[in-house]
């Protein structure tokens, strides 16, 4: 291990009774957290070392960050099928784990896990036989890494996909004798958005979070760090879901968000204008709810009318993509600005895969300036906006710091997990 990776201090687990986080002693300062994410179509594992707490010299560094995307696989089917995702996570987890541990220089070919423990871990992975086999081989070949806790996404997401990560985390916790931290995926998006370099950005509460992903469209208020109050949410489709479904209607590949965004950008760069108009659902309603199903239906009608018996021209496709993206951005901006006004939010997190969208990022940033709000905008870099395990390791650290560990026998995946 090289010098800058030497651990300052960490959790000490004592004897068998301390397994799964019971009877542990927190020394102080730095903790190494291994985070696992399998809620949708990315298999990801990251290892961070972090110390401090919110508002109190929080610092972290990334020791390893590995991700395997299933997008190519799902593209063939035009979307994510939970059981395909589950199978792919099973296959990918051990290679991704090895990659992350290698990057962190935390593994050596020195076995220290007993056959008895391996047999126990195989029982935990009864429903994931392929993963069980790969993991057993891994335990037979390598040492226990010097980490302090294992954090894993327990929801929200696709339940069969979540379970693979959850069971893998249980098996690792058992074999390595490490505590487990359950993580809410959406909290991960918030925390990664709030991170800045190797620390947290400087901001004051209340914090408003606009969470826009394949499964969520929500405005969430935090009067305190890690406390959440739901202001409003979509009544039907999530924004990312609308992007993906609309892309499909227009014959574009999965996932639709980046593709629509790319085409809309070309239309804007070329200065192309069109007479196409789409609705801005619920833009004037006096609440913080959203609805995107009607917008999707309107796109379907527009596509059918425009193409008639033929197919959409490239110009028409770009024009519809641009109008759709404008409609979504108008609604998100209007609702978010109203929420800032009502809550006096001092910072705005934009998190979730759709926050990778350049147009939506720019529109929100322009709106803050035009409305004269001094609200600090917190958005992850585009490459970290979509799912990854860094966000899970980060959220895991803040939960571990509060000693929010869980017994393996109590840990379950919850597809509809809410932020609390």
Q: How far is CA 190 from the centre of its chain?
A: 9
Q: Does 41 bind Zn ion (CB under 5 A)?
A: no
Give SS3 for 25: strand
- Of residues 122, 244, 323, 401, which one binds ligand KG4 by CB under 6 A? 244
Query: Which position has the token pair 């404008």?
Result: 326
Q: Does 215 bind ligand KG4 (CB under 6 A)?
A: yes
Contact of 41 with 61, CB cutoff 8 Å: no
The CB-of-154 to Zn ion minimum distance in angstroms stands at 14
Q: Which does 10 bind (CB under 5 to 8 A by kind): ligand KG4, Zn ion, none?
A: none
| Per-residue interface string for the shown chain with ligand KG4, residues 164-203, x marking contact by CB under 6 A | ----------------------------------------
Q: Which is nearer to ligand KG4, 40 or 411 (CB)?
A: 40
- Of residues 145, 160, 232, 257, which one binds ligand KG4 by CB under 6 A? 257
Q: Which is nearer to ligand KG4, 173 or 190 (CB)?
A: 190
The CB-of-110 to ligand KG4 minimum distance in angstroms stands at 37
Distance, in Å, from the CA atom of 318 to the CA atom of 267, rounded to the nearest integer, reads 6
Distance, in Å, from the CA atom of 343 to the CA atom of 276, rounded to the nearest integer, reads 35
Q: Which is nearer to ligand KG4, 26 or 358 (CB)?
A: 358
Distance, in Å, from the CA atom of 295 to the CA atom of 297, rounded to the nearest integer, reads 5
- Of residues 165, 179, 232, 258, which one binds ligand KG4 by CB under 6 A? 258
Q: Does 37 bind Zn ion (CB under 5 A)?
A: no
Q: Which does 255 bind (CB under 5 to 8 A by kind): ligand KG4, Zn ion, none?
A: ligand KG4
The CB-of-4 to ligand KG4 minimum distance in angstroms stands at 31
Contacts of 108-113 with CB under 8 Å at 24 or more apart are 108/142, 108/143, 109/141, 109/142, 109/143, 110/142, 110/143, 111/139, 111/140, 111/141, 111/142, 111/143, 112/143, 112/144, 113/139, 113/140, 113/144, 113/175, 113/176
Q: For 352, list phi and psi in degrees, rounded to 5.
A: 100, 160
The CB-of-369 to ligand KG4 minimum distance in angstroms stands at 22
In the region spanning residues 194 to 223, those forming contacts with Zn ion, defined by CB under 5 A, are 213
Q: Does 261 bind ligand KG4 (CB under 6 A)?
A: yes
∠ at Cα 276 (272, 280), nearest 5°?
115
Give the helix/strand (H/E) hosting 293. helix 293-307
Q: Does 386 bind ligand KG4 (CB under 6 A)?
A: yes
Q: Which is nearer to Zn ion, 88 or 387 (CB)?
A: 387
Q: Does 40 bind ligand KG4 (CB under 6 A)?
A: yes
- Of residues 145, 179, 255, 281, which one binds ligand KG4 by CB under 6 A? 255
Task: Give the helix ranges, DSSP H, for 344-410.
Answer: 358-370, 390-401
∠ at Cα 214 (213, 218), nearest 5°?
45
Q: Which two tokens stand for residue 149?
A: 């806790």
Q: Which is nearer to ligand KG4, 259 or 401 (CB)?
A: 259
Residue 136 Rama label (left phi>0; alpha psi -120 to 50; beta): alpha
The CB-of-300 to ligand KG4 minimum distance in angstroms stands at 18
In the region spanning residues 342 to 381, those forming contacts with ligand KG4, defined by CB under 6 A, are 352-354, 356-357
In the region spanning residues 330 to 389, those forming contacts with Zn ion, defined by CB under 5 A, are 387
Give the helix/strand (H/E) hosting 182. strand 180-184
Size of the site for ligand KG4 (CB under 6 A): 19
Q: Which two tokens stand for residue 344?
A: 């006096």
Write out the residues near Zn ion by the rule CB under 5 A. Answer: 213, 387
Write out the residues near ligand KG4 by the rule CB under 6 A. Answer: 40, 213-215, 240, 243-244, 255-258, 261, 352-354, 356-357, 386-387
């Amino acid at each position: 291990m090289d010098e800058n990776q030497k651990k300052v201090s960490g959790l000490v687990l004592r004897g068998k009774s301390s397994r799964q986080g019971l009877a542990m002693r927190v020394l102080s300062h730095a903790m190494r957290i291994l985070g696992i994410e399998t809620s949708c179509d990315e298999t990801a594992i990251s290892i961070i070392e972090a110390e401090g707490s919110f508002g109190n010299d929080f610092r972290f560094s990334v020791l390893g960050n590995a991700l395997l995307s299933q997008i190519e696989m799902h593209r063939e089917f035009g979307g994510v099928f939970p059981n395909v995702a589950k199978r792919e996570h099973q296959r990918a987890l051990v290679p991704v784990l090895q990659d992350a541990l290698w990057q962190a220089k935390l593994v050596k070919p020195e076995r220290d896990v007993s056959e008895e423990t391996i047999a126990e871990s195989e029982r935990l992975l009864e429903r994931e036989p392929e993963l069980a086999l790969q993991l057993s081989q891994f335990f037979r070949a390598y040492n226990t890494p010097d980490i302090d806790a294992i954090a894993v996404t327990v929801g929200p997401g696709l339940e069969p996909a979540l379970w693979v990560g959850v069971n893998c985390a249980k098996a690792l916790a058992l074999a390595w004798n490490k505590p487990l931290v359950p993580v809410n995926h959406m909290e991960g998006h918030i925390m990664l958005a709030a991170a800045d370099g190797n620390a947290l950005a400087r901001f004051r509460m209340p914090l408003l979070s606009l969470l826009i992903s394949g499964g969520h469209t929500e405005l969430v208020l935090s009067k305190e760090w890690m406390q959440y109050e739901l202001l409003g949410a979509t009544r039907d489709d999530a924004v990312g879901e609308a992007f993906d479904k609309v892309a499909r209607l227009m014959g574009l590949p999965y996932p639709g968000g980046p593709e629509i965004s790319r085409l809309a950008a070309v239309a804007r760069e070329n200065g192309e204008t069109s007479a196409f108009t789409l609705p801005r659902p619920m833009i004037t309603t006096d609440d913080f709810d959203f609805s995107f199903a009607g917008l999707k239906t309107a796109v379907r009608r527009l596509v059918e009318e425009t193409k008639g018996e033929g197919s959409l021209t490239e110009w028409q496709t770009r024009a519809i993509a641009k109008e759709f993206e404008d409609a979504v951005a108008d609604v998100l901006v209007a609702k978010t600005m109203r929420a800032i006004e009502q809550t006096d939010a001092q910072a705005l997190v934009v998190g979730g895969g759709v926050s990778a969208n350049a147009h939506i990022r720019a529109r929100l940033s322009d709106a803050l300036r035009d409305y004269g709000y001094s609200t600090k905008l917190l958005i992850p870099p585009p490459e970290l906006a979509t799912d990854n395990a860094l966000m899970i390791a980060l959220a895991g650290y803040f939960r571990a710091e509060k000693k929010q560990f869980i017994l393996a026998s109590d840990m379950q995946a919850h597809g509809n997990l809410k932020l609390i």
